[in-house]
Structure 1
């Protein structure tokens, strides 16, 4: 989730002793953040700029910046505006999760999937950014997902999921071979939630970029993203926290999107489950947005004249790809050979954690690390 994805790269070093992983060395090359650029600027200038800087999750980034600014000013956005923001984030989240899944499974070269993904993107594009997606747009989204075989009923429980896996859906065909990988990468899950927001806000104010690029909460490095949000779903719980369960978590969120969009539009859903903000102190606002890759934070601090004194972005990737984070917990202790087959397994697991930048996987021996 960066402003210049072509310049970014994550390197995942699998450090082995014998045939067992003893450590992960995770390094990243990131461009300079926009915090320095924002200093002294008006909030409106940065809110308008932020969505244009991000190739991925632009809507979520824009919503987070707008919410952080409003909170810093002590303004409570109108419910209609928050509903529109939540709708935009949900639609974007669905597209990003599906696109990432198709690429991970090698379906990006399928003309049928490419065509269906394009139609879904068109249906999810808001006509009026100031309002939630309308009923016709939501109906088209539901139709396109049904054509992919993704309905809430298809993944409602384990029996339904197994029937779906045996169906002729192209997505189901792509997932079937990975049932055997259900245990690969399994680890205990510690979700990042709204209960963590206050501490995160304090750390961002005090530590700024050093916390944003290597966050931890008194030694905790929780997980965020689709799997963390759906870990208690019966299908995800049944298949576990390995590679296959993580892929199913994406599908469950994708399939639930039309129902969520309808609920947001009708006012029956709490948009705060997707978009939240809080005023931490005079002139200090924190926003949290549940986007495709997880919980995205923006902190905005204003000076006495109302200009930006501090602006921090904490992306979901920084939790999931922390050297002591969820990916490390999923792999340390695993038996792996330095073979092409095991490299591909690791690459699929890394992709399932959904980094917002490109990545490389390298095997190293502990004596050489």
Structure 2
């Protein structure tokens, strides 16, 4: 966990020669995964009662480092946020009508946001000129952050299956692993073609 303004101190973009897709690693050279499984590895004890009941009846335990666990983590989050949304809707409706009291004056500067999106951590930086016009944008998507880890997992999974002599339906199993990462559709198609 680190101050979001320092994200470039912790992650770096790397170039790979076989694709134009952006890839990222930690500065210490390790790959990483963002998304539902990463969030629940840190906060699974904060799940609502209904999601906890499902978790307790399932084989998965947190922390979980298998990308296949990401699908279960997504289901747990859907249940949790559906339950949470019901109580939040009433609170939000009680605030209406409301008016924004924030006045905006264009000026030069850099804005950074690090937020959790459904697929994982989303980083974006915007640089504005003195008229408030956007001069540059850098968006680092969850899928881009996961690609290097996905490729490492695919390699390790293939080696594991070959060592076991269990290569039946190998392509299907690798496709399942890729889908467990929940990449965006264009990235999923690009990954399948690259292999």
Range into which the TM-score falls when normalised by the shorter chain = 0.5 to 0.7
Please, which of 278, 284, 293 is the counterpart of residue 119 of structure 2? 293
Q: Mind listing any 5+ residue stretches in structure 1 that lack a counterpart?
A: 1-192, 268-281, 364-369
1:12 alignment counterpart: none
Q: How does 1:114-125 map to 2 (within 5 A)?
A: none
Q: CA RMSD, aligned part only? A: 3.6
Q: SS state of the match for residue 298, structure 1? A: strand
Structure 1 residue 303: Cα displacement = 1.3
2:97 alignment counterpart: none
1:199 aligns with 2:25: no
Conservation of the 8 A alpha-carbon contact between 1:284 and 1:299? yes
Structure 1 residue 299: Cα displacement = 0.7
TM-score by structure 1 length? 0.35
2:48 alignment counterpart: none
Please, which of 225, 250, 259 is the counterpart of residue 83 of structure 2? 259
Q: SS state of the match for residue 199, structure 1? A: helix
Conservation of the 8 A alpha-carbon contact between 2:41 and 2:62? no
1:341 alignment counterpart: 169
1:311 alignment counterpart: 137
**Residues 259 and 339 (structure 1), Cα distance of their counterparts in 2 relative to 1, 3 Å cut:** same
How far apart in 2 are the matches of 1:345 and 1:230?
24
2:25 alignment counterpart: 216
Conservation of the 8 A alpha-carbon contact between 2:67 and 2:180? yes
**Residues 263 and 200 (structure 1), Cα distance of their counterparts in 2 relative to 1, 3 Å cut:** farther
1:328 aligns with 2:138: no
Q: SS state of the match for residue 321, structure 1? A: helix
Q: SS state of the match for residue 224, structure 1? A: coil
Deviations 1:103-160 (A, max 9, x none): xxxxxxxxxxxxxxxxxxxxxxxxxxxxxxxxxxxxxxxxxxxxxxxxxxxxxxxxxx
Please, which of 283, 286, 290 is the counterpart of residue 109 of structure 2? 283
Structure 1 residue 215: Cα displacement = 2.6
Conservation of the 8 A alpha-carbon contact between 2:23 and 2:147? no
Conservation of the 8 A alpha-carbon contact between 1:287 and 1:297? yes
Between 1 and 2, higher relative CO (CA 8 Å, sep ≥ 6) is seen in 1
**Residues 215 and 241 (structure 1), Cα distance of their counterparts in 2 relative to 1, 3 Å cut:** closer
Structure 1 residue 229: Cα displacement = 0.7
Please, which of 35, 50, 58 is the counterpart of residue 225 of structure 1? 35
* Greater than 4 Å deviation, 4+ residue runs: 201-204
Alignment size in residue pairs: 151
Conservation of the 8 A alpha-carbon contact between 1:200 and 1:217? no
Structure 1 residue 257: Cα displacement = 1.5
1:355 alignment counterpart: 183
**Residues 201 and 239 (structure 1), Cα distance of their counterparts in 2 relative to 1, 3 Å cut:** closer
1:242 alignment counterpart: 66
Q: Mind listing any 5+ residue stretches in structure 2 that lack a counterpart?
A: 46-54, 93-107
How far apart in 1 are the matches of 2:24 and 2:172?
28
Conservation of the 8 A alpha-carbon contact between 2:35 and 2:118? yes
**Residues 227 and 252 (structure 1), Cα distance of their counterparts in 2 relative to 1, 3 Å cut:** same
Conservation of the 8 A alpha-carbon contact between 2:123 and 2:140? yes
